[in-house]
Structure 1
């Protein structure tokens, strides 16, 4: 009945784990393809509640999966039993020591039922005897019967349902009494959307290709963790015991890759790796809609049994889990919610009985596309209960009206929750939108929606798409080769390279190369001009209507684009009904004095031949893609605008219109096209208009005018007149306003990318270099360096960096090198550093970049090792090929985060599996490299590597309750590398095991033969203030005093810390700066996010602390709840702080991150300014849910040099958004100023 052999070995194991979990809810499933110790899954039953067993005993049920490729081979059964008896006996003996008492073998073989003689009875008996535990086998029939009642699993493993109609198989028996009707409607709906989306359509290229012919997956990246929902936060994923581990695992990017493949990522989400609510952002023409179109179409192929189409898709893009896809244009949903029926050509009110909800719309869409099947919300709910669902919600940015956008956000969020609550298996919603910079401020809440960003095409994807495009065009091999050679040359030019990074623009670029060869325009608008010129020329050869009325047809397209763009901004869906289009054409011809008798010929030319319009809903028409509509609208506005004249001023001249466009966020992409229309004689006036805009309310204190200028500069708008380029560069680099642009690039949505040479790259970069070596602000240095890196090749960066060595201190110079991304890509030869200039600061940055390969030689190894063990906290997963050596091994073994996870994990898995689940295959490869290279190590380091391996193989339940594994590990590490901070961090975490029997040893840390035992003894004095007072007053070296203070900070109770405040203050201030820095650094290295052992002081105790030193305020502040930490930070801002110490950054970061309430800003802002002016810096990002009053935003934006860039970016975003919401609709401006009146 089920075809398990289609799954293959690993997929079959995962399938069996799903069946096991359905029968045993507490099942722990182990990763596939890794050593499992005789277990593919297990169930741990603690016997604490049963009187017959001691409290700590447990029962362990083991599951082992055996996949047989040749199920009809009679030898399989015998061989399987013998192989298990041989290979699993020793493993199971070890597991019996951990409580294993029952063993299940799961196989795809078919058992026989004869009493005693049949395979079922014989195997059960043979396994029980061989393995000496109670043993059972789940045969093929057992799997079949369990799967019969597990419909949800079938959706995740559709390969086993070998059928021509998977949809029918999957929902059979699941849709209630009305199953046949419901299934028929869904099948008709899916089929209709399948036929509609068969082709990747872009009519202007004269190209018709199937999805499989032309689709190329696109790169994307999750938006920054600080802009990600809390449940998707990587740091929280590390800290949390189990429930967030999927995030780190799923986003573990392969070495050498910087991105995720969008379609592949969404296609293969199952179980705990599933992002249920997603916003996929991308620039105009970036391919957002194509991604969702492909996802839906691939799912339809599988559901409808289109095996030939599905086979044409590369393996990695075929769906591994099936969902019923619903593809929705959000403009239609917006009309539905507002009470208009979007499925009729002529606008009419929605029937009052229709629910204005997401579910109501989906039911209506199914009725419409299925050809009139009866289907309602109750039917949809029944379908949701029986299936996995994908909601592809396309074009959120195309709904311009703010109120409607908010209604959409509310209804989609509520609707998806209702569908999930209906009892369905899962509902995934993917909303596509342009980034916030292109739309007004309403967004889906980041607490419940994960944001991903489509990135520019990578070279491999450009090559892949070009190859597919040439095949789809039917080019000969010689023609395809010539085209690729031209593209290879042109793509090295900065402006062409920029154009090729966007899928739609790459399509246009290839079309132009195919028709015009190497002669390509520079400007973005000019490229569209050339493209449409080529298109109309081609159509002129085919049609007398086009040939005779070419210019008129172009003008009509421009006018239509203006009308549809303005209607979209006012709440329409950007389309026009058949009769309305004809009426509009007649009116236009009449007003322009053209012959109205040709209206029918022109109408047919527009909708049939020219093809810029398409019919998505019968009897309605719209532009095929939004960027084309915006291009034509820009051309209409420019070509119909009068020239400005002092003698006879006219409203709505070219520059009036430009100012109106750039003020309105919805029209920003139109403004880009519009800016590209200006000719050489108009460019200086355009520069003046941008400069003047920056002096006008409400833009005076925003970056918006300069952001637009920089955006147009990147579009080659000013290159035709170089004096204008220089003026624009001077305008955008004015200080301190430049800091707003830098802040947006670092923390917000920047509209600029790398500049072409003729667009002022050299002048722009020169300003950045000068500022880089003069500013003393670390966040500004990093932002400047990132902007330089974006606009400068590596060789130039190295040369300029070395030239600036004498301008700053060695520490600052080394830091700048890191910000410029030199260490991660350059070799020592590239950097031309001699032994003298390769100081400890440089070494630290090389180590932070994991450039261990550069430091393995005799000249640097010992210094680098010493820094790694005593002055660094880095390490981690993902050793890159060719970069492994002794330093890399030390960094991997002493990486403290893995040891904190060992203490907090609750899965009872070996630590190795826990870390692999959290950090993916990169951690597994790191471990493999360490084991493989162990023989090349010195004896002591080989022993350390072996101790590490044994530690990883230990279950976390043992590691969190027993000192012995920690003592053995730390002893091996101390033997290899001696006492150092890196080993202290591990030992101090090990001292926190949950065990009443582990009392530790009363031995000073410096003399301890077992450091973990000594740290354990101290940890157990966490509530003994008198003991701590005595220790802190004792005469001892600073190193030992620091180690004690670290243990007190890590484990001390609130009562203890308060009672020793006086002596603690004195002791902390007795440390030299190096020991003080190390204390704070070592404590912080093992903490993730907010700690669970934070406490709250009484008001009187908090007042006492505020009156002590800055060091004590910082020390205790690390353990206090956020509100009290905020109070200490304010006090610290009034204290004299030692430059370069951790106090200033701590206070500044606390104030910046804790100003979430409006009442805090009045007291905090002056102190933030004081700390920042004093040299304190913070690279902290500001969450999107941050709250900043308009008065505060204005104060920050009016003096951006006085505040951290994180605040500058947020304040600028607040003021810019406020200005955008105040902007009138463009059609209102046009009417008020009489733009189009004769």
Structure 2
């Protein structure tokens, strides 16, 4: 009979061109942007099948082609609902989703007017940059935008791998950024506006670094797409514009949300709470009156759509039918720590609530460094992306945009560009030009006054002077002619007032008109004609705004950094050099111990005289004793060094500040990235502590330090050194036959271009130094060894053949050592190189070596030698291949593992024949491999073999064979012996075993071990390190069972030498939270990443947090970060607000 025209029209009309499957946004008729014709993707699916055998066939249902029995779907979901005879999708459920879809689409169609009204309102309101620069009138965000780099540590998460793909495809000029080797960087909008971007992120950036502008730009990009505007082209990337989904963006100021959420007029028992209760409460009750972020979004949309209406149910419809972006800005500006924690938890809650009902939701959060993000990052749904400094290319791009927007003449433009280019390499200019806001101010001063400030506070001071000079000389503000000091002081007072109210959680950073008038009268009380002056100032601020802007019927400083500068000025101007609780020293101490005031503190310190800067060491010591071991004073000292506050001071003065940063565990925290807003290791600039850091670190490396601290010291030293420091000569002059010297030399990278004496030293070092933690071949590669000394290379070959093959990596290209390392890995893995792979190896500058007779050339030739048309199933071809390898490698680990790669399809007799009439080494290797395969189920044979394995390399090979070859019955019967043998593996050998098992399991060379029942019934009791190896080669059921077993044995595994313990942490967590004691001494096993979740870790006590911060070398970086946040939260809750301190000690009283 077929589908009637009427039924088809109703079906398509009510589906509104969208697949009816929940959360699918696939359009069912696609029209190309260029060209003619459309593509019909929609498929008219039957809920009940037309014929017997079909999905959900019902013989009693006659109207199978009626509208009531039809569902409009995309091809993917049509196939899905009919798969397996439709058994997974019932008639009732399909009818329900059809009804829901049509209802949502009907309401979505009705909402289009409101949606476009909101987009248009916000597009117009947010098109102007927040920081209105002098001489630039109303530039759009688009006209001034440069794509600030963002990055994160490569921790295996989808986001960092996505960034790595972007960076590989289009790396930009990020090479100049000093970042850890595991850090990956891409442009912010390059990533966030990429068609393949999915999920959420937290953008972390310092003051003026551009995080809010990134959010503003991303929102405007999507609004422009939706409204058909030509601006915001994302760098004119038409493919990006065409492929990226045009989201419905909602940008939320979290300061305003926090104030709105807490000030609920319907809050139960809404009598005024005490300030202390307000600050300290965690609001854990469900009936506390706190209002959700969804409610705020609904209300905010309603405020910007004119006469249209938008309700809570409409938000649900919007989420189900549109790709949506929630851009949440200013988390750090929620000053009260408990209130900020509540907002952070609310964001995590919103993600959890909305994700199940949203078709395509992205949540982006922007904040400054130092904010506690644990409730977000603990969900693993919010990876942290750190904004980086502007690269050289981006600075020039910004300069060109600034020149264009400023409408400079050609002559002025060329003069400005020449001046900037001539001075950009100066250390202080390089530092000041690192962030967009500071660069804008710098360009303005360079253009208007040919001025190049020396440090950050001076930059802001000169900018404001220029701004007020212009307002005064051009008669834009007559009040500046005779009351300029009053105008300046009034701004300072208002900044102080707003800042203190924000700290108390009583303000979102703005003041209303009536409140402004009252404040002006209070501030000017006691002056001549105070009432008239107050009214004049009120008129100037409200009509001409001066340094404030009007937003949403309230007044606030353009950007938070300007407010913080004025607040610092207010404190500085009012506190005398000496006093009792109200001196500048007292004010500075109070600022130093309050992280919310950190940026104010930076400006305050920048206002100090040279004598006061010299005395900073005393303030640092006093406050550090109060807050120790919390590293906030170390962090501030590092910050003001890079602010160039110490410019021009003596070496000893700068050294005092450097010592404050790096002394004791400080060097570890510096290398961990805790003192850098971008998460990178701390690097002090020239004339800002660099040379003093080198001196400090050299002294410590010559002394006695723990091995972990020594590594951090060496890494920090290498990062700060310049060629003139000649680290190689200095450290070689300290040579001694010790693992410590060897390890530090490796990190310093001083094994290249060695002289005769140094080569002799290195030979003796290799022959006499042995350690459990690292292979010396690793150390040579990391230390950039590029020589060809036969004794050293032979020692490396022996070590690779003793088990090191597989762990060592080198990026030195074509050195003899690199060839050895790669060839050992290829051979031990049993890799069969085909022609393209062989050509790739030769393309890296090695082709000439094939005809050489050098040590490495022989090994390279052997590695690349395969019989013509090598057949992996041919015993003859394998024998020919293995004979060549045996000749260059001899007996040992490499050859034994190469033999183990012979396919299982070749029978034992054929394998055994390979060893006849050949070299002794190959005969022994073949015989042992045949015995492994012939005795898979023979427990006694394995027992005898394991007990007879003498050396560490033999034990490694035996363990690998047993895990890969033996039956589960053998493993169970010998579990005690196996566990003991695994426990004897040195960390460096355990890593090789883990790596090899993982590689072979991926290559399907391992027969999965089924040990789940033995584990469940306690037939076997294995250590954490043995359990982990079982999990690698185990069956799916075994893997699942290993998790609960690992929970109490995680510490043993993390101290075993495991390559990356983050996967193990995830596997070990089941229902009970993991005890923190398991992570002690696990720093090497747990690189930073998104593993340390509140959801899986037990809570941290304050005493434990202190222990961790006193000895961070014993703990993973993420645990150290949690300890710092734990101590900071506790201390902040106990501290009085700065407003309370100023009132107690009468900072601003006329008579103190």
Q: Give the TM-score taking structure 1 as reference length.
A: 0.68
> In 2 relative to 1, CA 488–581 (structure 1 residues): closer, same or farther, beyond 3 Å?
same
Residue in structure 1 matching 2:959, options 1034, 1042, 1045: 1045
Tell me which residue corresponds to 2:6. none
Partner secondary structure for residue 427 of structure 1: strand
Matches within 5 A, 1:664-1063: 664-696=594-626, 699-719=627-647, 721-722=649-650, 725-726=653-654, 728-729=656-657, 732=660, 735-736=663-664, 738=666, 741-742=669-670, 745=673, 753-775=682-704, 777-793=706-722, 795-796=723-724, 798-800=726-728, 802-809=730-737, 812-820=740-748, 828-829=752-753, 835-836=759-760, 844-845=777-778, 848=781, 854=786, 872-873=804-805, 883=813, 964=873, 975=884, 981=893, 1015=929, 1018=932, 1021=935, 1023-1033=937-947, 1042-1049=956-963, 1056-1057=970-971, 1059-1060=973-974
**Per-residue Cα deviation, 1:311-338 (whole angstroms, up to 9, x for no partner):** 9745586463321111111123223322
Pair 1:496-2:429 in alignment: yes
State the aligned residue count.
Answer: 994
Paired residue for 1:1085? 995
Secondary structure (helix, strand or coil) at the match of 1:457 reads coil
Please point out which of 548, 571, 593 is paired with 1:637: 571
Q: What's 1:1184 paired with?
A: 1092
Seen in structure 2, the aligned counterparts of structure 1 residues 1002 and 312 have a Cα distance that, compared at 3 Å, is: closer
Q: Aligned pair in 2 of structure 1 residues 607, 1132: CA closer, same or farther (>3 Å)?
A: closer
Alpha-carbon distance, 1:588 to partner: 1.9
Cα shift at 1:301: 1.5
CA contact (8 A) 1:1194 1:1211 kept: yes
Say which of 99, 116, 133 aligns to 1:204.
133
2:439 counterpart (506, 514, 535): 506
User: Does residue 1:663 correspond to 2:593, yes or no?
Assistant: yes
Residues 714, 759 of structure 1: 8 Å contact kept: yes
Please state if 1:1218 is matched with 2:1152. no
**Unaligned residue ranges in structure 1 (runs of 5+):** 1-20, 26-66, 73-106, 112-144, 152-170, 235-244, 343-347, 903-909, 913-923, 955-962, 1134-1141
Q: Provide Cα deviations, 1:592-633, integer angstroms capped at 9, x if missing partner.
A: 55643143442343345454222221x212111111111111
What secondary structure does 1:202 align onto?
coil
Deviation at 1:366, TM superposition (A): 1.7
Question: 2:215: which partner in 1?
Answer: 292
Partners of 1:926 and 1:321 in 2: how far apart?
43
Q: Distance in 2 between matches of 1:731 and 1:191?
A: 55
C-alpha displacement of 1:1011: 8.0
Cα contact 2:637–2:660 (8 A) shared by 1: yes
Aligned residue for 1:158? none
Q: What is the alpha-carbon distance in structure 2 between the residues aligned to residue 395 and residue 1132 of structure 1?
A: 41
Alignment partner, residue 405 of structure 1: 340
Structure-2 change in CA distance of 1:1201 and 1:1044 (3 Å): closer
Contact 2:550 2:556 (8 Å CA) reproduced: yes
The corresponding residue for 2:420 is 487
- Deviation per CA, 1:28-51: give whole Å up to 9, x if none: xxxxxxxxxxxxxxxxxxxxxxxx
Q: Would you say the 8 A contact 2:151–2:185 is kept in 1?
A: yes
Structure 2 residue 150 is the aligned partner of structure 1 residue 217 = no
Cα RMSD (Å): 5.7
Q: Match for 2:293 among 332, 355, 358?
A: 358
Assess if the C-alpha contact under 8 Å between 2:899 and 2:929 holds in 1: yes
Q: Counterpart of 2:53? A: none
Q: Contact 1:385 / 1:425 at 8 angstroms: preserved in 2? A: yes
Q: Which residue of 1 aligns with 2:351?
A: 416
Aligned to 2:67: none
Determine if the alignment matches structure 1 residue 194 to structure 2 residue 104: no
Kindly indicate whether residue 266 of structure 2 is the aligned counterpart of residue 334 of structure 1: no
Rounded to whole Å, the distance in 2 between the matches of 1:764 and 1:1228 is 38
Q: How does 1:58-207 map to 2 (within 5 A)?
A: 176-207=105-136
On the 8 A contact 1:967/1:1010 being kept in 2, the answer is no
Cα separation, 2, equivalents of 1:925 and 1:1003: 30
C-alpha distance in 2, partners of 1:180/1:211? 31
Query: How many Å separate the matches in 1 of 2:115 and 2:596?
Result: 36
Higher relative contact order (CA 8 A, sep 6+): 1
In structure 1, the residue matched to 2:1004 is none
Report if the CA contact (8 A) 1:739-1:1201 is conserved.
no
User: Kindly tell me: are residues 982 and 594 of structure 1, through their superposed partners in 2, closer, same or farther at Cα, counting changes over 3 Å?
Assistant: farther
Counterparts of 2:162 and 2:878, CA distance in 1 = 28
Instruction: State the partner residue of 2:57.
Output: none
Q: Secondary structure of the residue that 2:404 maps to in structure 1?
A: helix
Structure 1 residues 194 and 740: CA distance shift in structure 2, 3 A:
same
Does residue 546 (structure 1) correspond to residue 452 (structure 2)? The answer is: no
Counterpart for residue 468 of structure 2: 536
Q: CA deviation at 1:429?
A: 0.5
Deviation for aligned residue 1:249:
5.0
Alpha-carbon distance in 2 for matches of 1:1031, 1:183: 76
User: What's the CA shift string for 1:249-306, capped at 9, x where partnerless?
Assistant: 5675767855211111111142xx52x1211111111110111111111112221111
- Contact 1:737/1:1200 (8 A) holds in 2: yes
Give the secondary-structure state (helix, strand or coil) at the position aligned to 1:280. strand
Distance 2:1015 2:839 in 1: 44
Q: Distance in 1 between matches of 2:930 and 2:1000?
A: 24
Check whether the contact 1:286–1:502 (CA below 8 A) recurs between aligned residues: yes
**Which of 565, 570, 574 is matched with 2:499 structurally?**
565
Is the CA contact (8 Å cut-off) linking 2:1079 and 2:1116 kept in structure 1?
A: no
Asked if residue 462 in structure 1 is aligned to residue 390 in structure 2, the reply is no
Given that 2:805 and 2:828 are in contact with CA atoms closer than 8 Å, whether structure 1 keeps it comes out as: no
Q: Are the equivalent residues in 2 in contact too, given 1:483–1:513 (CA < 8 A)?
A: yes
Structure 2 residue aligned with 1:278, among 197, 201, 204?
Answer: 201
Question: Shift in Å at residue 1013 of structure 1?
Answer: 11
Report whether the alignment pairs 1:388 with 2:323. yes
Q: Measure how far apart 1:396 and its partner are.
A: 0.9
Aligned residue in 2 for 1:1229 = 1141
* Distance in 2 separating the partners of 1:147 and 1:538: 62
SS at match of 1:628: helix
2:457 to 503, 525, 536: 525
Deviations 1:447-478 (A, max 9, x none): 22111111111111112111221222222344
Is the CA contact (8 Å cut-off) linking 1:330 and 1:394 kept in structure 2?
yes
Tell me the distance in 2 between the aligned counterparts of 1:702 and 1:708: 12
Residues 599, 822 of structure 1: alpha-carbon distance in 2 compared, 3 angstrom cutoff = farther
Question: 2-side partners of 1:758 and 1:1014: how far apart?
Answer: 64
Listed as ranges, the gaps of 5+ residues in structure 2 are 1-17, 23-30, 42-71, 79-99, 176-183, 267-271, 273-286, 767-774, 852-858, 1002-1007, 1034-1040
Matched residue, 2:361 = 427
- Classify the secondary structure of the residue corresponding to 2:434: coil
Equivalent residue of 2:514, what SS?
A: helix
SS at match of 1:199: coil
